Amino acid sequence: MKVLGANVFLATQGKSGVGAVQESSTAPCISNCPDAKAAPSGKTTGPGDLNDQNDSSRDCTPWDTDGDTLHEECGVFGVIGAKGAVNIAALGLHALQHRGQEAVGITTYDGEEFYSQKGLGHVTHVFGEMDLDEVLPGQMASGHVRYSTTGGSGLRNVQPLFADLETGGFSIAHNGNLTNATKLRRELVRDGAIFQSTSDTEVIIHLVATSRYPTLLDRFVDALRMVDGAYSLICMTKEGMIACRDPLGVRPLVMGRIGDATVFASETVALDVIGAEFIRSIEPGELVEVGHDGTVSRHRPFTRMSPRPCIFEHVYFSRPDSVMDGRSVYAVRKEIGVELAKEAPAEADLVVPVPDSGVPAAIGYAQQSGLPFELGIIRSHYVGRTFIQPSDGARHSGVKRKHNANRAIVKGKRIILIDDSIVRGTTSLKIVEMMRDAGAAEVHMRIASPPTGHSCFYGVDTPERSKLLAAKMDVEEMARFIKADSLAFVSIDGLYRAVGESGRDSNCPQFCDACFSGEYPTELTDLNEREAHDLLTLPVNRVA
């Protein structure tokens, strides 16, 4: 057994105003991380008084035959000030389809009424045959694509959620996950709230509804000061659109412009696809309000904190043609491959990506190592979700329908396989076996992220910790489990270097990396509140 590095092993075989509650109890447990940019103290009467300024597919993961992958849970999109806004929203959501394939919804407003359509399935499936201008009229639209997140995948959990509040209609689309929603929900139900969904997002609606502040904006800020966790939100009221990113900026949110219309989206790729100009990222803790006349107002109602955006967006979740907080996702992934090649070289003939997410890192690895890059695995683009599943005995062929070894390339060769992550490990095992069946002489696995040993509670569907391979085994044991000749992960500092940092600041990490480090940047209040669904006893799958 030869140890190549820290993460590398060879296997033998394979209330007087909202401002008054500014110092709320939502401060994250980042005790080593000073709030260097703490908000100024002082008399405030509402969010507008706090630094208020005005200025004018991926398909379903192909290898995921048994839940052995991480899923981004949502994508959000909003547009205001555009004729036929729904068409732009549908196109934008289609560009965000990789962030959620189980359900989609769009809500519009035509100046008098709100309209909403939702369905289970892809954007084209739900909206492809619909006369969108007829069904969803108006110059303002927001939408949401969803992978089943907190509360399951029933139709009543599909967003945007909508409620008629005292202040008027209110719709909300949420990317992320609240970590104290169960606790808050329990308190709200005790006070008489009647929930219609099992989604954590509905908690925000109830908090807005029950807030005592007079304006919708103040109520909204009041509600957000009570929640912990990750949220990038796009909301609509009769006055206009509100976009907001949580104080740590865990999940992304960007702003763009198309003609006179303002656009918000989870990723820049959605702006590209609709032909919008990228304006900027919404800053962590920033709330942007856009009126129907195009007026844009910025608010910073939360205590400022050092941002902790999700580093896994760069590794896997975001589309490679997106730019995330000023960094090209594709370029970062290539850089991860470069770091990996420096940290974990191997004697081999070819570098082979696991398609599609391993491709940029494999290109970087190949360029750094000087080894040829080859497509040793070919992905079929014609396998849909509804394809007839084989019997258990033919399960392995199910994998081959989606991906197949390029035998002519790999036979007799020593292969370096590059993948983005290892979750349960069963998929990696199948890929390694496929390479060996195709005649590969050696299979060296290299992973473009550190070992994923912890679950995510911020909007990414992760198996419980006991199912994560890295939580049960060290790298040496994992190498044996997947039957690779060697296995290596990029180091956490290598990952940080790839995103442009000099390394991880252990006193104040620049990103959320909790699924690797176990250091969660917020309280995880609901971790001990497992009875969430006791509060809603009609299972979501019994609701049409």
Interface with ligand SF4, residue 310, by CB under 6 A = yes
Q: Of 271 and 514, which has the nearer Cβ to ligand SF4? A: 514
Q: Which of 513, 525, 526, 540 binds ligand SF4 (CB under 6 A)?
A: 513
Determine the interface stretch with ligand SF4 among 369-377, 426-434, 468-476, 509-517 (rule: CB under 6 A).
Answer: 509-517
Report whether 257 contacts 276 (CB < 8 A).
yes
Q: Are strands 414-419 and 442-447 parallel, antiparallel or unpaired?
A: parallel
Interface with ligand SF4, residue 250, by CB under 6 A = yes
Report whether 169 contacts 216 (CB < 8 A).
no
Question: From CA 27, how far away is CA 303, in angstroms rounded?
Answer: 8
Q: Which of 244, 344, 377, 512 binds ligand SF4 (CB under 6 A)?
A: 512
Determine the interface stretch with ligand SF4 among 220-228, 304-312, 326-334, 480-488 (rule: CB under 6 A).
Answer: 304-312
Spell out, one character per residue from 438 to 457, where the chain touches ligand SF4: x when CB under 6 A holds, - when not.
------------------x-
Of 32, 36, 29, the C-alpha closest to 522 is 29
Question: From CA 3, how far away is CA 466, in angstroms rounded?
Answer: 26
Nearest-approach distance from CB 28 to ligand SF4, in angstroms: 12
Determine the interface stretch with ligand SF4 among 78-86, 199-207, 238-246, 308-316 (rule: CB under 6 A).
Answer: 308-316
Question: From CA 524, how far away is CA 184, in angstroms rounded?
Answer: 13
Nearest-approach distance from CB 214 to ligand SF4, in angstroms: 35
Q: Of 313 and 485, which has the nearer Cβ to ligand SF4? A: 313
Nearest-approach distance from CB 317 to ligand SF4, in angstroms: 8
Nearest-approach distance from CB 527 to ligand SF4, in angstroms: 13
Question: From CA 113, how far away is CA 117, in angstroms rounded?
Answer: 14
Interface with ligand SF4, residue 200, by CB under 6 A = no
| Buried-exposed string 282-307: b where 16+ CB fall within 10 A, e elsewhere | bbbbbbbbbeeeeebbbbbbbbbbbb
Interface with ligand SF4, residue 460, by CB under 6 A = yes
Q: Report the SS3 class of residue 212.
A: coil
Q: How many residues bind ligand SF4 (CB under 6 A)?
A: 11
**CA separation (Å) from 94 to 79, 103, 386, 390?**
14, 12, 19, 30
Nearest-approach distance from CB 536 to ligand SF4, in angstroms: 25
Q: Of 31 and 391, which has the nearer Cβ to ligand SF4? A: 31
Report whether 274 contacts 92 (CB < 8 A).
yes
Cis bond before residue 131 (omega within 30° of 0): no
74 is catalytic: yes
Q: Of 311 and 352, which has the nearer Cβ to ligand SF4? A: 311
Q: Which of 29, 33, 60, 74 is catalytic?
A: 74
For residue 414, with 0-12 CB atoms within 10 Å meaning exposed, 13-18 middle and 19 or more buried, which class applies? middle
Determine the interface stretch with ligand SF4 among 281-289, 305-313, 331-339, 373-381 (rule: CB under 6 A).
Answer: 305-313
Applying the rule CB under 6 A, the residues between 137 and 196 that interact with ligand SF4 are none
**CA separation (Å) from 37 to 41, 252, 304, 306?**
12, 20, 6, 8
Interface with ligand SF4, residue 458, by CB under 6 A = yes
Nearest-approach distance from CB 449 to ligand SF4, in angstroms: 9
Q: Which of 311, 348, 361, 377 binds ligand SF4 (CB under 6 A)?
A: 311
Task: Count the residues in the chain.
Answer: 544
Report whether 286 contacts 300 (CB < 8 A).
yes
Q: Of 171 and 491, which has the nearer Cβ to ligand SF4? A: 491
Nearest-approach distance from CB 320 to ligand SF4, in angstroms: 17
Nearest-approach distance from CB 489 to ligand SF4, in angstroms: 14
DSSP string, 115-180: EEEEEES-HHHHHTTS-HHHHS-SSEEEEEEE--BTTBS-GGGPSSEEEEETTEEEEEEEES-BSS
Determine the interface stretch with ligand SF4 among 15-23, 107-115, 196-204, 307-315 (rule: CB under 6 A).
Answer: 307-315
Q: Of 221 and 230, which has the nearer Cβ to ligand SF4? A: 230
Interface with ligand SF4, residue 312, by CB under 6 A = yes
Question: From CA 335, how far away is CA 284, in angstroms rounded?
Answer: 25
Which residues bind to ligand SF4, rule: CB under 6 A?
A: 250, 310-312, 456, 458, 460, 512-515
Question: Which residues are marked as active site?
Answer: 74
